[in-house]
Amino acid sequence: MRQYNINLDPKKIPDAWYNIGADMPEPMAPPLHPGTHEPVGPNDLSAIFPMGLIMQEMSPDRYISIPGEVMDKYLLWRPTPLRRAYRLEEALGTPAKIYYKNESVSPSGSHKINTAVAQVYYNKAEGVRELSTETGAGQWGTALSIACGMFDMKCTVYMVRISFEQKPYRKSLMEAYGGRVVASPSNETQIGRQFQADYPGTTGSLGMAISEAVEVAATSGGSIKYSLGSVLNHVCLHQTVIGMEAKLQMESVGDYPDFVIGCCGGGSNFAGIAFPFVQDRIAGRSKVECVAAEPAACPTLTRGPFAYDYGDTGKFTPLMKQYTLGHNFMPPGIHAGGLRYHGVASTVAHLKHLGLINAVALYQNPCFESSLLFAKCEGIIPAPESGHAIRAAVDEALRCKESGEVKTILFNLSGHGHFDMTAYDAYLRGDLQDYELDEEVIAQGAASIPIIE
């Protein structure tokens, strides 16, 4: 009898997060202060983050214990299922074995709540009562609104305007959990007003929304802190519970992946599923290929240079060594809003630079095609972001069909698409455009990358 669902005893949920920084074969370039260009220290970040998270951001430790109160919240949805996609395999006619980790079963419908609960916990522990943040597609804003509700904290979410308009029910969901949602760029912040003046009619970007949320925290006198849903080390760290669980689940059925795939915008979802397996590759225990699937409309890892750049458009954040399209890059308004980010996590970038992970850039129409096939086979409508991981997995499975190789593929279903049906409507009408960015557009974005000696 087929074993579709591979469950894990809740008592075996990892009790510590994995910090890949401890195992990097070469040291990472440090983040730099945006004003002095000197390496950032803990005090430089204290205006916007609590010290507990700052220490995690800079920790040399391989494992960091998960606090009991965070673990108690995790038990609402963790461990998440690992599922063998037999029906998808059959539909593709592939000899490959396809598994997916289903993070869509969380209260927020995505993986984002894994770090949201942790970040709110550490802020609350230091007396913080209000957080500001940004969101692209709305998954992160939803997760933080839920987590703030759990800990009786206030939350303001600056939502990229194009997603604010495309996904009105995401706004409703955040408000239902107590979050306040503002379309970005807004008139509420000085930098938001400046963006509107500089870019009339802009549909916004994650870089802009980050700038607004950071400004609110930085000018609050310490009463409001900033919370980020991706990119930073501590955010990627919190997501590794996904891959650590997946390893235990695959071990229980005597299997191990040849390919681990995650969609990639800022990088936390990819890091969450991949980093525990990259650890094995660094240690020489496996030759697993970890693949970050990004949109061709925002091809950070595949077409951006490896350079120091700001994490936001307003140049408030530290300079981070990353693959970047330039902090002024304005990505097209694709429906995978969570992947419309000009840069990427420094940890992900460093691993790509060392050749320890790979990246592919995908058009949105093939991603939606694979998402609907997945939905028909597995019964789950994926988020447009997750559709990039599905497409990459399908492409790999089809290569196995051509070669006759029996490979094992694992991907992260980072979230469901229940609030993304306008995107599916557009696809079914044939209204989605596949964007091919020409070199002039890439060069314009790259022109904003600072020259750091």
Report how far residue 160's alpha carbon sits from residue 150's, in angstroms, rounded to the nearest whole number. Answer: 25
Q: What is the largest CA-CA distance in the chain?
A: 63
State the pLDDT at residue 206.
81
In a domain, 404, yes or no: yes
Read off the tokens for 160.
């990229």
Q: Which two tokens stand for residue 225?
A: 């802190």
How far apart are the C-alpha atoms of 325 and 443, rounded to whole Å? 8
Task: Assess if residue 405 is contained within a domain.
Answer: yes
Q: Is residue 319 part of a domain?
A: yes
Q: What is the pLDDT of residue 337?
A: 63
Contact 372, 296 (CB under 8 A): no
CATH label of the domain that carries residue 282? 3.40.50.1100
Q: For residue 338, give its domain range.
A: 5-9+68-109+234-446
**Residue 24 in domain:** no
Q: Which of 44, 98, 97, 105 is nearest to 78 (CA)?
A: 105
What span, in angstroms and rounded, lies between the C-alpha atoms of 365 and 434? Answer: 7
Does 197 reside within a domain?
Answer: no
The reply to whether 122 falls in a domain is: no
Q: Reading across the β-sheet that carries 97-102, which strands appear in turn?
A: 5-6, 82-84, 97-102, 408-413, 259-263, 289-295, 358-362
pLDDT (0 to 100) of residue 334: 67
Round the CA-based radius of gyration of the chain to a whole number and report it.
20
User: Cα(316)–Cα(332) distance, rounded to whole angstroms?
Assistant: 23
pLDDT tens sequence across 384-398: 999 999 999 999 999
Return d(Cα 59, Cα 63) in angstroms, integer: 9
Residue 82 CA to residue 410 CA, distance in Å, equals 9
pLDDT value at position 124? 96
Q: What is the pLDDT of residue 257?
A: 98
The structural domain count of the chain equals 1
Look at residue 168 in the predicted model and tell me its pLDDT: 86
Distance CA 159, CA 205 (A): 9
CA distance 337 to 156: 19
Q: Per-block average pLDDT, block size 10, for the chain (453 residues)?
A: 86 96 95 91 90 95 97 96 97 98 96 97 96 90 96 95 87 95 95 93 87 92 92 96 98 97 95 98 97 94 95 86 91 71 94 98 96 97 96 98 97 94 92 87 88 80
Determine, yes or no, domain membership for 165: no
Evaluate whether residue 374 is within a structural domain. Answer: yes
